[in-house]
Structure 1
Amino acid sequence: MTVLLLAGIVFTLILLTKQRDIASVGIVRNITHKLKSRSLSTNYWQTGIMLFAANTALFALAFVILFFLPYGAIAGLMMCIPLSLFTWVIFSEVWRGSRKDKVKMAFVGNSFFLFFLGWIFWYYATLEPAYPGDDLFMAWIGVIIASIFTIGAMSVSMFVMLRK
């Protein structure tokens, strides 16, 4: 599992260094060209809500892959990380408004991760042992790992969205 985590981190770093190249790919240019003429490109509430929905859908896809497919962690790393970066680059490229509104849009869209982080902490705070003497140490480790992944995903998303 550690090897998969390190591979995912390295893969993410490689994709982050190539995000300018991703933004110039033909399919990204075609999608952004079609979306720039809509109010989606200047209204930070609409774009933020769409980004929130995209983050929710990406999380649901990752959840389904991880828990319902054999070798889901490997497939998740190979598919969900580039798909997330691709989606965030598209939202970043579509934006035509001011920098201040782009920051607002990014915060509205990435509030999904804050809600998820709140749910993680609420779940752990209300967790009860299954039987007397049950140790909740492994649940605590799960909370720490989920928090790290959530904060990491939110940080990468903000970095991609707010780049110049």
Structure 2
Amino acid sequence: MTVLLLAGIVLTLILLMKQRDFASVGMVRNISYRLKGRSLSTNYWQAGIALFAANAALFALAFVILFFLPYGAMVGLLLCIPLSLFTWVIFSEVWEGAMKDKVKMASIGSSFFLLFLGYIFWYYATLEPAYPGDDLFMAWIGVIIATIFAIGAMCVSMFVILRK
């Protein structure tokens, strides 16, 4: 599991360093060309809600892959991280408005991870032992991992979307 986590981190770092090349790929340019000039490229509320929905859909895809497929963690790391970066690069390339509105759009879209973090903290705060003497240490480790995931995903999405 540690090797998979490190592979995901290395893959993310490579994709972040190569995001300029990633943004010039034909498919990204084609999608962004088709979306430019529409309200999604100038209205930060619509773009932010669409980004929020995209983040939620990608999280749901990762959840389904992780829990319902054999070797799901490996497939999830190899599939969902590039898909997330691809989505965030598209939203960054499509945006035609002011930088101030782009920050608002990115904040609205990345608030999914804040809501996820709030849910995790609420779940842990209301968690009760299944039987007397049950140790909740593993639940605490899950909270730490989910916190790292949520903060990391939010920071990477903001970094990718707000690049110049």
Asked if Structure 1 and Structure 2 have the same fold, meaning a TM-score greater than 0.5 normalized by the shorter chain, the answer is yes
Secondary structure in 2 matching 1:8: helix
How many aligned residue pairs are there? Answer: 164
Provide the C-alpha distance between the structure 2 equivalents of 1:107 and 1:150, rounded to a whole number of angstroms.
14
Instruction: Give ranges in structure 1 of 5+ residues lacking alignment.
Output: none
Where does residue 127 of structure 1 map in the other structure? 127
For 1:2 and 1:149, how far apart are their aligned partners in 2? Answer: 14
Q: TM-score, normalised by structure 1?
A: 0.99
Specify the alignment match of 2:43 in structure 1.
43
Residue deviations 1:80-136 (CA, integer Å, cap 9, x gap): 000000000000000000000000000000100000000000000000000000000
| Displacement over 2 Å in runs of 4+ | none
TM-score by length of 2: 0.99
How many angstroms does 1:37 deviate by? 1.8
Supply the distance in 1 between the matched residues of 2:138 and 2:35 (Cα, whole angstroms): 45
2:160 corresponds to: 160
Who is 2:75 aligned against?
Answer: 75
Q: Note if 1:105 corresponds to 2:105.
A: yes
Root-mean-square deviation (CA, aligned residues, Å) is: 0.4
Aligned AA for 1:89?
V
User: Could you list the runs of 5+ residues in structure 2 that have no partner in the other structure?
Assistant: none
Supply the distance in 1 between the matched residues of 2:152 and 2:110 (Cα, whole angstroms).
12
